A and B are shown apart, each in its own frame.
Chain A
């Protein structure tokens, strides 16, 4: 459903240092990085008055251009993946740190993300916001995002500035130099981010509750943005400790894509990144295992400012590296991509029971979470919305999807990747995901084969295997009940 979008551009801008930063990553939001499915339709800041989505399509055998890359690991453990692309005079630089909100210190939920904001303050040799001087001021951009498993810093600059940015990334990897004033003010920014993304939007709390309730033991149960109390508890000393624990060359991957010469890049890496020492201490890693769910769990939450009831359902799924990951991605696409998808067609179009409906396979590193979300159409009950969502799940368990439907889903996934890889930062995002989360940069090329090997039987099998009632969590998110008497405050 195309929706009217006439808010001034400024209202939509997701600036920088953004937690759910997919929104700031141009139009593409790779599933593997998306933290939670969004119930609310996001208005695309098109800038023009015309909001024109260009779809793309692929017929039959899809041809995806190969992404050739160069790989290197330094003695200090830093991994580098680089790919030359000389079509435009720009270069994308990304530094992936293998630390996410699952690594938040005890009593400090939201800290990994707050820390990400601090990485733009003063470092050993840079004043606060100097990263913006080296990017934005010369026509490039910089930003970062934090999710459950990773924290990623990225820049796109005119390619003649590549060396400058390698120096800068090396500098903030080597050490931070944050003062109390900066810390306090940036923590206030993050609190506003919490208010703006969780409290102010009508369904912000729904995503927050779903994340908290979907895990019982694993730290994934702590939403990346944290809580106001834990943010208030964070102290300046925590910043240095966190940097020392996780911001080290053997926990980082540098990705460079664009207009550069490989030999030249290597000499700069030798000069700026090679000298950084690898600490002797071991890297802390989350070892908690999320137990299997044993029976269906149900919750009802009420929130202020909820125009229509909403339903969220989650299922635990295997991690992103599991052999079933591609089949789950296909299932998500069949359920949720486009107006011919099963959820849209059944719930929004035919039954008119939902205002919107979506499925998201959130494939994480330790254990995945599959979401089904829907906002009721006006006058419809959450019970009926739930029943319709579950009926669509059951259909895919009872009978295999058609080959044509499977082919459509695969074409949709591949074209979304084609679009993502149109830009250097999109290519870098694909390489970083493959290297850090899948453990092998070659996956940017080989995953297509895995995807095309998914059969209709595979889709039916994963639907039966994971989408059972014992593995189900259901959350109703409802308006606050009408007050029986006036407030006596």
Chain B
């Protein structure tokens, strides 16, 4: 039986204006010179989630959706990279990644082969605020797949050779990543915003921090956080809810809750003001073929009552027809990709606006990005502009939910933060309720350009003189002196005195 609930998507909201059409070109044209108007909109159905909490504290959430004969399952742990000790950046991610690389009864190779032979795939990793292991299988194979998932989460062995192998792979991968100006700019921006606080370090760690992680650290993190009362099991797809619950009970029902009380999840930023001092920071990478520019400042937490105002505000800036792309790409041809994101987490997440451009345009693009933040914070937005930007949000959301993985991810995220699962069904209404004055208020409160820091990574000699004319107090760090391990971002001359343990 399918349980679903109807939601009306208000999509047909655009009133096409005559100014859209280049009507003066009219010659002998095909049938007509203006587009035919839309017909009446139709409705979309979003399946409803049902849930149980087992006596061991495990919360199990099932979403039935027939159609494609697939089931997706995720075991979510309600902590991620934000719990990494300062000197051990990457610990949560390394721990999560190792889950599928060996258990008491299965080797890494056996796990990969067992799942891939079924045409499926498995993965496990940490994000901010959560870690997760997941499998996806044909509906008829959900039972063996859940058995492997449970084994990986409950009985990983963290063998020394697997740790070494993965550590080396991640270090190599990071070194590749750290040769891209865009990646460097993002890492630096997080440090500028958060310093040594959680969310400040690269999620996957640095080559140096990964080297410091010991097996005991991994085992300890697993023992403390991977427990049923800190976990959520999501099962979604072409499966009956009662069957899904019975499989969940079979493989996770006897997962013991440790006697030790779970310490509260999530770390506080302890009153630290994130927008303390706006900085303009240049990472000089002379061999960079483009400059990557990131403008960042504190955003909001996902539970902030202003969340929907925030995502609507961001949508005005972001997206192909958002203001940033309009100004930088469409009007001026300065970039191929421009955008912004309001990354709302358990605690206050970052707001980021970014672009890549030719080196000699780096200063101009930084100015344009800031200018758009300022414009939004100081001048009202018209309804004509706002309505389509809300439609973009609603459209992206409904397409995400059309796919099983998107649906399971979305509901899992709400569950992870303890928000009502019904929010999925309220999304459209919540977006539509945001007014033009809400947007301006949000922008004025949260996007003030004066509080934003700027990071530019590229060949500095091409943009630095101009940048110095535009901004006071520009700091320059040569790439060879950049240290992502420290809040100061600069290598100390005596490298031996790194963060101790």
Contacts and interface: CB of A to CB of B under 8 A. Distances in A.
A200 B175 contact: no
Interface string B373-415: 0000000000000011001101110111011110011101100
B270 interface: no
Contact of B35 (A10, A13, A164, A404): A164
Interface stretch (A121-129, A289-297, A312-320, A435-443): A121-129
A355 interface: yes
B345 interface: yes
Contact of A10 (B38, B42, B352): B352
Contact of B334 (A8, A158, A188, A419): A188
Nearest to A164: B35
Given A125-B29, A163-B36, A200-B180, A139 B395 contact: yes
A138 B119 contact: no
Task: Determine the main DSSP class of A at the interface with B.
Answer: loop
B259 to A, nearest CB: 29
Contacts of B370: none
A188 B13 CA distance: 34
Contacts of A90: 398-399, 402
Given A8-B352, A195-B358, A124 B25 contact: yes
Given A50-B412, A200-B356, A55 B38 contact: no
A189 B113 CA distance: 44
B357 A200 contact: no
B121 A55 contact: yes
Contacts of B182: 7, 11, 200
A89 B398 CA distance: 10
Nearest to A142: B320
Nearest to A135: B395
B251 interface: no
Interface stretch (A98-106, A214-222, A233-241, A335-343): A335-343
Contacts of A170: 30-31
A100 B140 CA distance: 42
Interface in B12-26: 12-14, 16, 20-23, 25-26
B40 interface: yes
Contact of B34 (A125, A158, A190): A125
Interface in A1-53: 1-11, 13-16, 26-27, 40-41, 46-53
A419 B404 CA distance: 9
Task: Determine the main DSSP class of B at the interface with A.
Answer: mixed
Contacts of B93: 4
B198 interface: no
B179 A305 contact: yes
B44 A57 contact: no
A59 interface: yes
Chain A contact residues (Cβ within 8 angstroms of B): what range? Answer: 35 or more
A377 interface: yes
Contacts of B440: none
A152 to B, nearest CB: 17
A308 B289 contact: no
B136 to A, nearest CB: 3
A158 B176 contact: no
Contacts of B172: 308, 355, 375, 377-378
A305 B182 CA distance: 13
Nearest to A480: B287
B223 to A, nearest CB: 22
Contacts of A5: 203-204
A53 B412 CA distance: 13
B341 A139 contact: no
Contacts of B284: none
Contact of B41 (A56, A160, A415): A160
Contacts of A41: 173
Contacts of B29: 124-125, 174
B14 A138 contact: yes
Contact of B339 (A10, A130, A188): A10
B233 to A, nearest CB: 13
B354 interface: yes
Q: Looking at A7, A126, A195, A275, which has the most chain B CB atoms within 10 Å of its CB?
A: A7
B69 A63 contact: yes
Contacts of B171: 378
A8 B343 contact: yes
A48 B413 contact: yes
B388 A136 contact: yes
B422 to A, nearest CB: 18
Interface stretch (B73-81, B240-248, B443-451, B492-500): B73-81
Contacts of B135: 54-55
Interface string B94-114: 000100000000001100110
B49 interface: no
Interface string B260-302: 0000000000000000000000000001111010100000000
B119 A415 contact: yes
Contact of A89 (B9, B21, B292, B405): B9
Given A9-B341, A10-B341, A415-B119, A50 B127 contact: yes
B432 to A, nearest CB: 12
Interface in B140-194: 140-141, 145, 165-166, 168-176, 178-183, 185-186, 189-190
A256 B403 CA distance: 19
A207 interface: no
A4 B204 contact: yes
Contacts of B37: 164
Contact of A422 (B32, B113, B402): B402
B181 A50 contact: no
B83 to A, nearest CB: 13
B350 interface: yes
Contacts of A195: 289-290, 336, 356, 358
A137 B392 CA distance: 6
Given A167-B32, A189-B329, A338-B116, A59 B138 contact: yes
B9 A158 contact: yes
Interface stretch (A108-116, A324-332, A364-372, A406-414): A406-414
A63 B70 CA distance: 11
B115 A57 contact: yes
A338 B112 contact: yes
B124 interface: yes
B44 A89 contact: yes
A377 B319 contact: no
B132 A188 contact: no
19 contacts: A4-B204, A8-B343, A40-B176, A56-B136, A57-B117, A125-B22, A137-B387, A138-B38, A160-B12, A167-B35, A167-B36, A170-B30, A339-B116, A340-B109, A408-B116, A412-B116, A412-B119, A414-B119, A423-B403
Given A3-B173, A132-B321, A378-B171, 5 more contacts: A6-B127, A192-B336, A200-B356, A340-B112, A404-B117
10 closest A-B pairs by CB: A4-B204, A139-B395, A55-B121, A57-B118, A188-B333, A411-B119, A6-B203, A49-B127, A57-B120, A54-B136
